[in-house]
Amino acid sequence: MVRLKDVSIIFNKGTIDENRAINNINLSINEGDFITIIGSNGAGKTTLLNLIAGTYLPSSGKIFVNDKDVTRQPEYKRAKYIGRIFQNPLLGTSSNMSLEDNMMITYKKGFKGLTISLNKKMRQFFTDHLVQLDMNLENRMKDNVIMLSGGQRQALTLLMMVLSHPDLILLDEHTAALDPKNAALVLELTTRFIEEYHLTTMMITHNMSHAIQYGNRLLMMDSGEIIYDVEGEEKKKLTVEKLVEKFHQIKKKTFETDEVLLSGE
Ligand SMILES: Nc1ncnc2c1ncn2[C@@H]1O[C@H](COP(=O)(O)OP(=O)(O)O)[C@@H](O)[C@H]1O
Ligand SMILES: [Mg+2]
């Protein structure tokens, strides 16, 4: 479904701050994949999603979506089929617009070019969906989104995204800014929607047990590279301890290789 071929991005090229944040990544994402992504700060997780979403264009390499080369396609065009949720709940919805207007805007995105208006039937449709969130938001359709809590906003963003029928969703630590109770709620909702709507998903998390528990595939990133890619039965057998051990094993190997290279052997 999505394919990255030899993708690299170099920030601040030619300066003292030059940084190869993504280093020659090759990755194939299959339809229906639910991929969790882990890695230390600065590993390149967010940058990887930025490249897929078109926020940044790669310095080299190619990106394909359904075999179409989208390497140079701008972000707003990719937003038509890629849904995204960030850590900051304020980014997913417009504060000074009502819930129903927010929902309408995103809903229209799924019906390119068709004229759809916010009539009684549409309101009922939104109400029916809001009920699924179990947050009583169906009775607050006229409230401005600014009145909602962070958890409610993330849940609404999630629902709106689902209604726009994206081919791929990108979640960047989207529960990290919430209190534990709301974080758990939003995560539960996320996994329920992913399953119900068969959403192809990439989810960055800093919680190793979540990364193991959810999804069919796990990527571990370090220094702009995918250093571990595991799926299916092998993923199911992972534990946090094994994952940490794996990380150190791979890091040590890289270190040793570097040492060998440096010593000229
Ligand atoms: N817009 C940017 N300009 C310059 N450097 C950036 C930019 N975005 C990310 N980086 C750098 O790229 C590296 C990877 O960052 P990021 O993808 O945000 O890591 P992660 O999400 O894994 O914590 C870091 O060294 C970061 O400083
Ligand atoms: Mg990040």
Give residue-wise pLDDT tens across range 217-242: 999 999 999 999 999 999 999 999 99
The residues placing their C-beta within 5 Å of ligand 2, an ion, are: 45-46
End-to-end Cα distance, the chain: 42
Question: Is CATH 3.40.50.300 correct for 2-263?
Answer: yes
- In this model, does residue 192 exceed pLDDT 70? yes
Ligand showing the shortest atom-to-Cα distance for residue 23: 1
Which ligand has the nearest atom to the CA of 172? 2
Q: Which ligand 1 atom is at minimum distance from the Cα of 44?
A: 17
Q: Kindly identify the ligand whose nearest atom is closest to the C-alpha of 13.
A: 1
**Residue ranges per structural domain of the chain:** 2-263
Tell me the per-residue pLDDT of 133-172, one tens digit each, with 9 for 90 and over.
999 999 999 999 999 999 999 999 999 999 888 999 999 9
Mutate to test the pocket of ligand 1, among 11, 17, 23, 174 (most ligand atoms within 8 A of CB): 11
Residue 42 Cα to ligand 1 midpoint, Å, equals 6
Whether residue 255 is predicted with pLDDT greater than 70 in this model: the reply is: no
Integer CA distances (angstroms), 153 to 49, 195, 238, in order: 21, 21, 33
pLDDT for the residue 263: 58
Of all residues in the chain, what percent carry a pLDDT higher than 70? 93
Q: How many residues does the chain have?
A: 265
